[in-house]
Every structure is written in C-alpha cells, then in structure tokens.
C-alpha cells in the first residue's frame, strides 16, 4: 500500500526500516531537528536519519494542525498513515484523511500504559509482561481499538533492551495488520476503559536512588533509566550514574548482612549499598567526569571503602 509514516526515536526508525521494504512509503514525517549534546548542535531524529539513508522524502512540520501542512499531506494520497512514537497529536483532519485510517504501533498491552512512557512504566511497576499493539487511532489518547498484539516478558530487561525488542515485535505486528487491512479481514478489539492506566513522562530526578527505598524498586529504577533519565546517587561522596545494578541475592545478600540503609560495603569484589530492606549491588557506574567502569574499578579509587564506614545518599536537587 501507499503509506505515510510518522515517527521520531530509534523505536520508530527500526519499524520504518522494515516497512519500507514491504510498502511504498510516500513520505516520512518526524519532529524537527533538536538541540542535543554539549555543543548545542541541531541533530536529526533517528527516523529522519533512517529515512534519508533509505532515500525517502522527509517532512518536519512543527504541527499537523496547520492547514497548509494538511493540504500537503492530502496531496500524497496515502492509503494509510502508520505512526510510531511520533511525539505530536494528530488532529481529526489528519485522522480522517487516509481511506484505511491511521494505525499506531504502541509499546504496551493496551489499555495498560497509554501515554508517553509505556516501556519505563512497565519496568517501574514490576509488570511481568508487556508488548506492542497496533491500534486504530482516534482523537482520544491511545484509546482506539487494536487488531494485532505481541507480548514479551519484562523481568531483568533494561529500557534499552525492551525498546529494541518491542520495535522488532512492533514492526512485524504492523506488517501483519497492514496485510489484514488491505485484504479487508481485519478484526478490531475495543479497549476496556476500566483497565486503563496512564504512562506519564518520566520526571527529572525520578529515577535517582535513595537509601529509604526497597532494593527491588531501586533495581527497577536502574533498569528503566537512560541517558535522558539517569539513575543518580552519591556514593562515598562521589556523584555518579548507576548503569547496572541488581537486588542483592544469594552470596551478595550474605555479604551485605548487617548493612544499614545508607551504608556502603565492598566485599568479595562486590559493591553493596544498604537499602530499606536489604542491599543493592552496583555492577557498573559512571562517576561524574569519568568513563563508565565496573564496581571493582570504582571501589579501587575510593579510600577506606573496605573499612565499612562510608555512606551513600540520594543526590540533592
């Protein structure tokens, strides 16, 4: 079919790559270039970079509510508009434009985790499974009926791991949905409003680590973290980002015996932080101004860490 694709981050770029192999992509819509990094340079979205590599036409309007933008989109005469993490609202004029409507690849098992951060919220809530749904878009936020879903487990997976996996599942789900739509054999399931939950954006500092929290919750914060929303802590007076961590179990839990909340212990080549109900084992971290390193390398640079008198705390905003 003739498709217009709308998306912005890496999750969407992976879906575009597969879509372009199976269908005619008339144009790609993505968010305008954004200022990133210390150099304050304008950088294209992952979708724009992928589209240009594929030789596809790219549009970056600031809004789809502009009538001129809508006329330009209508002139493309798409059979369907496919959306994945676009980052902007589609007005009714756009939703009504293609004859097969607008299909959204949403990274959750709807109606759970409608909204902006479904992957992070599934991790933070301790969900056992998540997935993707191909949804028929309407004016409500992720409220439309869905026709294809794919599931996967959440346990132990980081936000980056899940994003990559769900992009792959979402790509195949979208291609399946398009075949069904084109053949007229698509079947839609309405969402149960009574089961709906909202995945609000991750707030600044929300994933920082605190000794007052249980170890399991802290471990999930680290799994849900990213460069945009890091898990920060101050360990032995050093500000750092915790990159990998897990709830202390087995040998690590035994080594942490008697460690009070807010205490630090390095034993058996393990870096342990005392929490409300046990300990968090730090596996790798990135001290401010330095490269990422494993726990042993970090501990080697901390004087007195084996004496057991050091503390850790949540960063002060």
**pLDDT per position as a tens digit, 264-290:** 999 999 999 999 999 999 999 999 999
* pLDDT at 94 > cutoff 80: yes
Residues ≥6 apart with Cβ < 8 Å to 11: 84, 85, 107, 163, 166, 167, 170
The sign of the CA dihedral 57, 63, 64, 67 is: negative
136-146 confidence digits (pLDDT tens) = 999 989 999 99
Q: Which helix (H) or strand (E) holds 282?
A: strand 278-287
Structure-token pair, residue 141:
């936020």
What is the per-residue burial (b if ≥16 Cβ within 10 Å, else e) of 286-315? ebeeeeebbbeebbeebeebeeeebbbebe
Mean pLDDT on 83-106: 96
Average pLDDT of every residue of the chain: 96
- What pLDDT was estimated at residue 37? 67
DSSP, collapsed to helix, strand or coil, labels residue 19 as helix
Structure-token pair, residue 213:
């929290």
* Residue spans of beta strands (DSSP E) within the chain: 2-7, 24-29, 34-36, 41-43, 58-59, 80-84, 102-106, 114-115, 129-136, 146-153, 198-199, 232-235, 238-247, 264-267, 270-275, 278-287, 293-294, 312-313
* Residue spans of beta strands (DSSP E) within 85-223: 102-106, 114-115, 129-136, 146-153, 198-199
Residues ≥6 apart with Cβ < 8 Å to 239: 232, 233, 287, 288, 315
Nearest of 173, 5, 200 to residue 83 by alpha carbon = 5
Residues ≥6 apart with Cβ < 8 Å to 40: none
182-238 confidence digits (pLDDT tens) = 999 999 999 999 999 999 999 999 999 999 999 999 999 999 999 999 999 999 999
Nearest of 128, 187, 123 to residue 152 by alpha carbon = 128
pTM: 0.95
Cα separation, 208 vs 282, whole angstroms: 14
- What pLDDT was estimated at residue 35? 80
Count other Cβ atoms within 10 Å, centred on residue 154. 20
- Phi/psi for 222 (5° steps) reads -65, -40
125-170 confidence digits (pLDDT tens) = 999 999 999 999 999 899 999 999 999 999 999 999 999 999 999 9
Strands 24-29 and 129-136, sheet pairing: unpaired
DSSP, collapsed to helix, strand or coil, labels residue 50 as helix
- What pLDDT was estimated at residue 268? 92
Peptide bond into 111 cis (omega under 30): yes
pLDDT bracket for residue 40 (50, 70, 90): confident
- In the block, which residue shows the tokens 């879906």? 15
């Amino acid at each position: 079919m003739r498709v217009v694709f709308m998306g912005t981050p890496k999750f969407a770029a992976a879906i575009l790559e597969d879509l372009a192999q199976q269908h005619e992509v008339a144009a790609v819509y993505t968010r305008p270039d954004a200022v990133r990094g210390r150099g304050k340079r304008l950088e294209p979205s992952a979708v724009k970079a992928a589209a240009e590599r594929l030789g596809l036409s790219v549009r970056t309007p600031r809004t789809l509510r502009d009538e001129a933008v809508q006329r330009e989109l209508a002139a493309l005469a798409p059979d369907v508009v496919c959306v994945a993490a676009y980052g902007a609202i589609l007005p009714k004029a756009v939703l009504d434009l293609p004859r097969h409507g607008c299909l959204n690849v949403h990274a959750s098992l709807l109606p759970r985790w409608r909204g902006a951060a479904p992957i992070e919220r599934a991790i933070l809530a301790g969900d056992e499974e998540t997935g993707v749904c191909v949804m028929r878009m309407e004016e409500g936020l992720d409220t439309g009926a869905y026709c294809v879903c794919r599931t996967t487990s959440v346990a132990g997976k980081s936000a980056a791991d899940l994003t990559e996996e769900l992009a792959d599942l979402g790509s195949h789900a979208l291609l399946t949905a398009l075949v069904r739509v084109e053949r007229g054999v698509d079947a839609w399931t309405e969402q149960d409003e009574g089961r709906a939950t909202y995945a609000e954006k991750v707030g600044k500092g929300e994933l920082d680590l605190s000794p007052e929290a249980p170890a399991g919750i802290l471990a999930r914060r680290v799994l849900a973290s990213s460069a945009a929303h890091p898990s920060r802590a101050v360990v032995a007076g050093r500000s750092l980002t915790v990159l990998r961590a897990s709830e202390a179990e087995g040998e690590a839990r035994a080594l942490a015996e008697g460690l009070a909340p807010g205490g630090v212990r390095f034993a058996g080549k393990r870096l342990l932080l005392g929490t409300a109900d046990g300990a968090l084992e730090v596996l790798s971290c990135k001290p401010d101004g330095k490269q990422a390193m494993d726990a042993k390398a970090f501990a080697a640079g901390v004087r007195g860490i084996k004496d057991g008198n050091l503390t850790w705390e949540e960063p002060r905003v």
